[in-house]
Amino acid sequence: MFEKGLLPRDFIFPLVLANKTDSGFAYKCFLGTGFLFVNKRYTLTASHVIDINKEKDQSILAIFVNENLSWSFFEINKNEDHPTEDVSILKIEGGIWNSPFRMYSDFVVQSTHYKMFGYPEDTLYDFAVPNTINLPRPDLIYYEGYIRRRISFNLNSVMKGNCFFELSEIAGRGCSGSPLFMDKSFDVIGIYVGEKHNSSEQSISYAVRADSFCNWSPQMLGKSILDESKMVL
């Protein structure tokens, strides 16, 4: 699936909330998943992941594995929400990375197969980043499935927006913000936004469709998500 030397943990990452301390940061809680696209500091996630009551001495951090195979963290000080859908663009301070992901704006039909990586909260383990933050970082988990149906209406106000895929697989709490990409490419077709219970008390999972936000032009980006994702590495 991936080229030699390219690992999904390099561009799909957990987001956490941390308290600022004299020596760095102290972990407070796990928020969800984000992913890089193209070759800059811009990332995407579900907007509800970072829609929190953040206090003055708190920061949202993106956690990556560095070249020494230890954890590195980067502050996110700038973000912008999509006006109608459950999507946010974030800018990571302090680094520039490459990512194979591109936005896919074409119509995606029912039965389309997808792949996904995410950080479910139920795989939290205790790790320590020296001199900075004691972090219960979850393991990266792989999922694959298919689109059960397309939805173009609000889901009874359970989730923000009107443009969804109903998915065959439940990823779990913590995977909100994970990218869904095409079976044989890195074309992103949606962003996982969570689950809800139906009338039979069964969980059903959903993703916001990429065709609903890829033509969005955030002020902080100065162009559309789709145009940015077409840039050559």
pLDDT, tens digit, for every residue of 45-56?
Answer: 999 999 998 888
Domain limits of the chain? 8-100+214-229, 103-123+139-211
Q: Which of 229, 215, 212, 232 is nearest to 46 (CA)?
A: 212
Class of 103-123+139-211 per CATH? mainly beta
The predicted structure's pLDDT at residue 201 = 64
- The two tokens of residue 102 are 């591109």
Which amino acid is residue 130, in one-letter code? P
> For residues 51 and 48, what is the distance between their CA atoms, to the nearest angstrom?
5
Report field, pTM of the whole predicted structure over 0.85: yes
Decide whether 8-100+214-229 matches 103-123+139-211 in CATH topology: yes
Residue written as token pair 């912008």: 80
Look at residue 129 in the predicted model and tell me its pLDDT: 52
Q: Is 107 exposed, middle or buried (0-12, 13-18, 19+ CB in 10 A)?
A: exposed
pLDDT tens-place string over residues 163-215: 999 999 999 889 999 999 997 788 999 999 999 876 666 789 999 999 999 99
Answer yes or no: is pLDDT of 102 > 60. yes
**What pLDDT sits at residue 96?**
65
User: What's the rounded Cα separation, in Å, for the pair 50 and 86?
Assistant: 11
Pick among 3.30.200.20, 2.40.10.10, 2.60.40.1180, 3.30.390.10: CATH of 8-100+214-229: 2.40.10.10
How far is the CA of 149 from the CAs of 11, 22, 113, 126, 146, in angstroms?
Answer: 28, 50, 12, 38, 9
pLDDT at 66: 75
